[in-house]
A = this chain, B = another copy of it.
Amino acid sequence: MSDRLRPESDPTLAASAAELLSALRGAPPLTHCITNSVVTGFTANVLLALGAAPAMVDIVDEAGLFAGVASGMLMNLGTPTPEQRAASREAVAGATASGTPWVLDPVAIGVLPVRTALAQELAAARPTAIRGNASEILALAGQSAGGRGVDATDATDAAADAAIALAARHGAVVAVSGPVDLITDGRRVIRLANGDELLTRVTGGGCALGAVMAAFLGAARVGGVDPLTAVAAATLVYTVAAEHAAAQASGPGSFAVAFLDALAAIQPHDLAPAARVEERAL
Q: Which residues of A contact B (CB under 8 A)?
A: 36-42, 44-45, 48-49, 54-62, 65-66, 69, 78-83, 108, 111-115, 200-204, 250-254, 256-262, 264-265
B264-A259 in contact (CB<8A):
no
Partner of A261 from B41, B60, B250, B259 at Cβ < 8 Å = B250
**Taking CB as reference atom, which chain B residue is nearest A85?**
B59
> Is the pair A59, B80 in contact by a Cβ cutoff of 8 Å?
yes
| A44 contacts B254, C-beta separation under 8 Å | no
Partner of A203, one of B48, B60, B82: B48
Q: Are B251 and A111 in contact (CB under 8 A)?
A: no
For A82, what are the chain B residues with a Cβ–Cβ distance below 8 Å? 59, 83
Is the CB–CB distance between B115 and A62 below 8 Å?
A: yes
Asked if B254 and A45 sit within 8 Å, CB to CB, the answer is: no
A-B contacts, 14 listed (Cβ < 8 Å): A36-B56, A45-B202, A49-B251, A55-B108, A57-B79, A60-B114, A62-B115, A66-B112, A81-B83, A201-B264, A251-B261, A252-B261, A253-B258, A253-B261
Chain B residue numbers with a CB within 8 Å of A115 are: 62
Q: Report A248 CB to chain B, min CB distance, Å.
A: 9
Question: How close is A60's CB to chain B, nearest CB, in angstroms?
Answer: 8
- Knowing A41-B204, A251-B262, A261-B251, the reply to whether A79 touches B108 (Cβ < 8 A) is no
